[in-house]
Amino acid sequence: MNPLNAYFPLKNKVAVITGAARGMALHIAGALSAADARLAILDVREQEGHAVARMLGGAQDRARFWQLDVSDNNAVRRTIAAVEAYFGRIDILINSAGVHADNASAQGLSIKQWEKAMQANVNGSILCSKHVIAAMARAGGGSIVNVLSLCGMDGERQEAADHAAKAALRMANMNAIRYAEHNIRVNSIYPGVVRPQELAAAKRKQGDLTQALTDTAELRMMTNRGAATDVAAGILYLVSDASRFVSGSELVIDAGYGGW
């Protein structure tokens, strides 16, 4: 028996995962699949999305891909309805889709950059949550997890739109009280930098290579085994019955890096 099945069983559960064609969301999808959940893979990347669905679905066709721009309200509504019609229920929503606005400061932003970050990183998660509530209520309850960023908690000088978008989504946890009567839980997770080279690349982009090397060395000591699967394990906890009394919470998985 897979140990994930013993501690965090998701058999007969249906999970909707946005942005799951690549990156951390792909690892999240893999963890939920290993725990026996059926998967709805949502992403704008059609070719990669179909490949992920084939990989995780297996011969039993336990995963299916839907192409979706999460910032499109009508498309989100139609897709959530299609997922429920196909699988018969929806129990889990992982809001992990988003875009990187690639900006230096609020003053340097164009309106287009700001709107792009807000539409994908804020509106997308809110729309998916909005349209999945009724399906979860019909299934007897569910779990929504918003994948945010440490920058949404303490902020930085760079990438103002990304940080503002992530911070805005902290307000989404207010839904935890609103939908508790339907047995629907809402939590947020804050992944740290699980690959030191990503931090170094970000620092180089800011023009501070010395700090990049220092931060990378310190991070490597603290997160020697850090990986996207460690974040996926936290998600697995939040969507399983092991956390049935956990709602409106924020889980930080960063080896203490965010507190430096």
Instruction: Kindly indicate the confidence band of residue 193, based on its pLDDT and cuts at 50, 70 and 90.
Output: low
Read off the pLDDT of residues 151-178 as tens digits, 9 standing for 90 and up: 545 555 455 566 666 666 666 666 678 8
The pTM is what? 0.81
CA terminus-to-terminus distance, the chain: 40
**Three-state SS string across the chain, please?**
CCHHHHHCCCCCCEEEEECCCCHHHHHHHHHHHHCCCEEEEEECCHHHHHHHHHHHHCCCCCEEEEECCCCCHHHHHHHHHHHHHHHCCCCEEEECCCCCCCCCCCCCCCHHHHHHHHHHHHHHHHHHHHHHHHHHHHHCCEEEEEECCCHHHHCCCCCHHHHHHHHHHHHHHHHHHHCHHHCEEEEEEEECCCCHHHHHHHHHHCCCHHHHHHHHHHHHHHCCCCCHHHHHHHHHHHHCHHHCCCCCCEEEECCCHHHC
- Asked whether 57 and 64 are in contact (CB, 8 A), the reply is yes
- Asked whether 257 and 223 are in contact (CB, 8 A), the reply is yes
Residue type, 171: M
Please give the pLDDT value at position 85: 98
Q: Give the chain's length.
A: 260
Read off the pLDDT of residues 23-36 as tens digits, 9 standing for 90 and up: 889 999 999 999 99
Residue 171: Cβ-neighbour burial (10 angstroms; 0-12, 13-18, 19+)? exposed
For residue 209, is pLDDT > 50?
no
